Amino acid sequence: MKTFITFIILGLTTQAMAANIVCSSPRLKKALKISNSRIAFLEESQLDGRQVASSAIKGVRTRNTAKGFDKIVHYEGHKHTIHIEDKNEFNELNDYIVIKSREGHEITYPLSCETM
């Protein structure tokens, strides 16, 4: 019985851990590194190196969809909504980021994503 419970817990924790997703946009000068519970905003030159600690944001709200997810975070005074339609098959037409200012202005950028 203990072995069975251990395998169930182990299975749930491995399902909860997903690979990091790195997204960039031709219009943004920053790249996004998305994990389960945090988002890091990086300069595109930092993708292969270390990230600045202040750019990693915790407290990300996640809304799961059938195949993808939406992540909502507040960064530099703006609300960022990251929409990934299908986390197993990325597509620039369906994956995007919406940046909304406090005044209500919205800008939408397409995202090019890949799994790391």
Percent of the chain with pLDDT over 90: 51
CB 78 within 8 A of CB 99: yes
pTM: 0.75
Q: Is residue 88 part of a domain?
A: yes
Q: Is residue 45 part of a domain?
A: yes
Distance separating alpha carbons of residues 57 and 37, to the nearest angstrom: 9
What is each CA distance from 80 to 61, 63, 110, in whole angstroms?
Answer: 11, 13, 13
Domain that residue 76 falls in: 21-115
Q: State the pLDDT at residue 14.
A: 40
Residue 98: both structure tokens together: 């919406």
Q: Is residue 9 part of a domain?
A: no
Q: State the pLDDT at residue 116.
A: 84
pLDDT grade for 1, boundaries at 50, 70 and 90 = low
Count the domains in the chain.
Answer: 1
